[in-house]
Structure 1
Amino acid sequence: MRFQSAIDVQRHTQKQLDRDADCTLPQLSTSLKLEALASKLYTHTAFADFQLEATASICSLSVGVFTPPANGIEVIGIADARMQKTYQVVCNYTTNDAECSCKLFNRKGIICRHIIWVYAGKQVETLPDKYIVMRWTKNSHKIPLYGLHGELMDDFDATYLRKLEMCKLWLEFYATISLLKNVPNNQITYLADTLKQFRVKLNPQAESMTKERDLQMLLGCNFSNEVRILPPHQAKNKGSGKRMISKKQQCIAKAEKPKTLCHNCKQMAHHDKRNYPNAFLLDANNKGSSDEDDVDDG
């Protein structure tokens, strides 16, 4: 129950984040057109990282080294006052591609402040598709879904609605089955026949499913009449041998035995002369009496 509640909380939080991303827009901190575009494109969490880079591109960057363009490719050295380091941005004006030596996009999937600074200077108003990672966008759940065999499935919304309808169907099915305990047999037979007719109507060429056929479809192979797996040899593991009797059981078994006459103590007891419990006292007394006799003889 605790695991189910944790899943419900996670789903509720996910729905809240999706609603906020679809219905609200974050506040902009700069006048860059790329920031306004990113606020509509990225989720709030991903946009916070992009906004940090956009703000830093205005506050802490300046041109360090500039190389004249050749064959449509330009190398710009940008001095980062905060990091106290110069980074190189290679721009291709034919494709509007840019690559920075800081490699932030390769690590986080967000373009760095150096590329944003170059795009702002060149008045690039749209981000190339190369720098838009689908997992950070608001429409990441609407990408095409593919099945096990590579077939193209419906979009996320249609798939989700289909799963929801299937869940409702299973709930109705189990609720109906739970009510069949106290109904006549003819109604149970009528329900079974109705389901069978509906199944045959959906797939007229389907054979009658049995337990053996279900297992064959699950395992992907046919059953063989030849048995190749033999039972294992008997193994003596811990606890498989003779069980040790506890002290309490030993005392109970001893008390149930009939008493016999002991020739040492001359009483009816559970011992005899051979296993007399105070035999060492008897030996000591006998030894003491023999020593006294020797003294008297002396």
Structure 2
Amino acid sequence: MLLSINPKTGETDKRRTLRLQSFGLDERALQGILFRSLDRLFPDDELLLLMQSRAWQEEPDLMAIDREGRLFIFELKAWESQASNLLQVLRYGQLFGSMGYPELDVWFKKSTDPSQSLKTAHRAKFEVELPEEAFNRKQVFVVMTNGMDYRTREAVRYWRSGGLDVRPWVYRVYAGVPDEMLLEMSPFRVCDNPYEDIAEGYYILNTNFKNSPQDHNDMLSSRKAAAYFDPWKFKIERLARGDMVFLYQSGVGIVAVGEADGTLIKSPYQGRAEHPDEEYAMRLRRFQTVSPPLTAQEIKQITGINHVFMSTMFGLDVDSGKAILKHITQPQPPQITTA
């Protein structure tokens, strides 16, 4: 729901939800817009992206694996008021729900660095060791739908009551100023994260150490913030000049900090010609290493927030960012020990 509020009188008026056609758009156009913003909508702290498709073939728009090995199948075409919304994603379940680990591994390698297996990437992200038979034991179906599309939402409710894990991903569109469309849509979440949308000039960026120590070392030696492959590389594109970036090594803590210079650099991933422009990076000015590293527990104590450090990059509120920066840059009082 979007309310228009008169701050002087306190009067409110509910804005009318519209359909895509009102703006000359169809589901393909919206899908393209969403793919370009996928790094903001997809929860990489909860799901490992298996594949994404931009080709118009009979395959899911997105597939992902969670910590327990459940396969999430996404239908993002956003058709409005058509029963085929739900039928399409269930059709994908029929086609892909029986895939074993070897087939999932092939999909994963086609979408990312083929030198890394799905099991290795899953273990690095979630810090659990799943046997191959645990992958894709269960499926979760996610279908995007307009808030006005009551037919699809009723169907989702019906199938959920029968035990099928189908979840709606609801969006709504509104008219803004002339020639502007407002899109109301929350990032998809397995569980709620109240800190996911904070962006006030302070960020924690994972150095990708568990997937590739080479990436981690390159960030530190080159004094840069970097992310790799579509869509996670686009997170670097969101950084603005002057933003403070804390480089976080998984299992260790914040190992360096610097100020983004605002200039995006696109490079082949690890210098390999077969992965052109798969590294997005930004130089960090006033760069300094943090020794000893600031651990996850210390970060939580300083900020009072139970942050989850599995995302590629996430924002901090101003107070938390300043508190961490102060702790890093100012000498700490010596610890008093007793005999």
| Fold agreement, TM-score > 0.5 | no
| Structure with greater strand share of residues | 2
Q: Which of the two has higher C-alpha Rg?
A: 1
**TM-score scaled by length of structure 1:** 0.20
Q: Which has the higher contact order (CA 8 A, sep 6+)?
A: 2
| Structure with greater helix share of residues | 1
